[in-house]
Every structure is written in C-alpha cells, then in structure tokens.
Amino acid sequence: MAVSTSIQVTPGEVAASLALVALAAAISFWRKADLERDIGIATVRSFVQLTAIGYAIKLIFEADTLWLVFALLAVMVLFGALTARSRAKRVPNSFGPLLIALAAAGASTLGLVVALGIFEASARYLVPVGGMVIGNAMTASAVALNRLGDEMADSRARIEATLALGASAEEAAQPTVRRALRSGMITLVDSTKTTGLIFFPGTMVGMLLAGAEPTDAVRLQLILLYTLLGSVSIAALVATQLAYRNFFTPAEQLREPGG
C-alpha cells in the first residue's frame, strides 16, 4: 500500500468550522433539546483528545518502533473495553469478555492485513488502522452485549424452561446469543451495503480532500471496510460467547439478576 497525500489545515480553518457547532447549539436551544452543555463538552473534549492524540501519533511516527505502536493499541483496547462496559450494565462482569474481544479483534485483524501484505508493519499504517479497528470493535461489542443483557432478562422464563429439560447453558442461551451477535454486526453490514450511495466513508472523504486520486481513495476505503467487517465480527463473536456464560452458574443455573 503506497498512498501519499498531504493537506495543510490552518487553526483558523478549524476555528471557522465552529460555526457549525454554534448552529447545533442554537438548534438545541431553540427546540429545547437541552443538549447545549453536552455539545459544549463534546466540542472541548474532541479538541483536547484529538490534539493530544495527534501529537502522540506524531511522536510514535517519528520514533517508528513497533513497541510504542503496541503500547498505544493496548491503551486503546483498555479504554475501549471500559467504555463498552458502561453500555453493557446488565451483563455480569462484562469487562473481561470485552477486553478479550477487543484484543482478539485488533490482533487478528491487524495480523492478517500485515500477513497478507496489504499494509506494512509500521507505525504509519498500524496506528490509524488499529484505531479504526478497535473503535469499531468497541461499538460492535458494546451493542452486542447491550442486546445480550436485555434479551437474557426478557428470555429468562424460556431459558430456564429449556435448562429444565436438561439442555446445557450453551444450548439454552443459543437463540439469545445469536440475536445479540447479529445486533453487533448488523450496523456495519448495513452501512457497508449503502456505502457510496447514501454516505461517503471518512477515509475516502479525507483522501479526496487531501487531493488523492479517487480510485486510490476508493481502494483504500474498500480495504478498510472489509477489514472492519472482519474485526466487528470477531469482536461481537468473542464478546457474546464469553459474556453469556456469566449469566449461568457452574451447575447450569440461571443466576439471579444482579446476583
């Protein structure tokens, strides 16, 4: 993969885009959506976080050692699992499954794209692609476990009646786990179906703005979309397969809610 583009964006241009933030706040105020404070926090946080990560990535690119890349990706996995946990409150001890799911999705996806020769094993490729992979894996596993928690609560009677027939916990939970897995994957599958028709993905837009050839932008975007499909599938699968077990005791009894 050899894509080289460059674009200069001045602080003034970033400041000018705040006009749209002001518009969002004005709409919220006008329609009493009560989101002005959240919009303000989101704007400040995005500025601080992206500026900080921008400098961190610059340092990592300059150092160009894989250890720093792995350390950054490990931090992303950790914070991703912590963030996703807050979406999966009804799943007992969800942090462990989420951590393993994000680590597995990140390691296997990045390992595969490097092994296939799609990207070089260098900071310039692994950091941005790793960020996208882990971010999407986080969203997918959070959605999947959120659904798993709701479904397990709604399906308690059916699951317990199935256990009462001598089914294993895995057999009793299977329909629920399947629906949760599907929920985690469906958003990206749907957006991949409509990409180019209803929306242009961020990478492609960024490259076009930076002056890249449209065909190059499209090819890179396709690689990333297919990579993300793999990573969200792995994340949702690992998270649901590990997390459903936490609803059962070793004697294949359904735990009491909150117990």
Nearer to another protein, 19 or 164 (CB): 164
DSSP-derived letter for residue 199 is: B
Element (H, E) at 209: helix 202-209
Nearer to another protein, 20 or 157 (CB): 157
Nearer to another protein, 94 or 162 (CB): 162
Name the minimum Å distance from CB 166 to another protein: 4
Are 201 and 225 a contacting pair, CB within 8 Å? Answer: yes
CA–CA dist 105, 96 (Å, integer): 14
Name the minimum Å distance from CB 94 to another protein: 22
Q: Please, what sign has the CA dihedral across residues 213, 223, 101, 68?
A: negative
Name the minimum Å distance from CB 134 to another protein: 35
Name the minimum Å distance from CB 182 to another protein: 15
Question: Residue 91 — φ and ψ, nearest 5°?
Answer: -100, 120
Name the minimum Å distance from CB 171 to another protein: 8
Residues that bind another protein (CB under 8 A): 157-158, 160-168, 171, 175, 249, 251-254, 256
Label residues 76-97 b or e (16+ Cβ within 10 Å = b): bbeebbeebbebbebbbebeeb
CA–CA dist 20, 17 (Å, integer): 6
Are 213 and 108 a contacting pair, CB within 8 Å? Answer: no
Nearer to another protein, 163 or 204 (CB): 163
Name the residue type at position 47: F
Nearer to another protein, 193 or 255 (CB): 255
Nearer to another protein, 45 or 158 (CB): 158
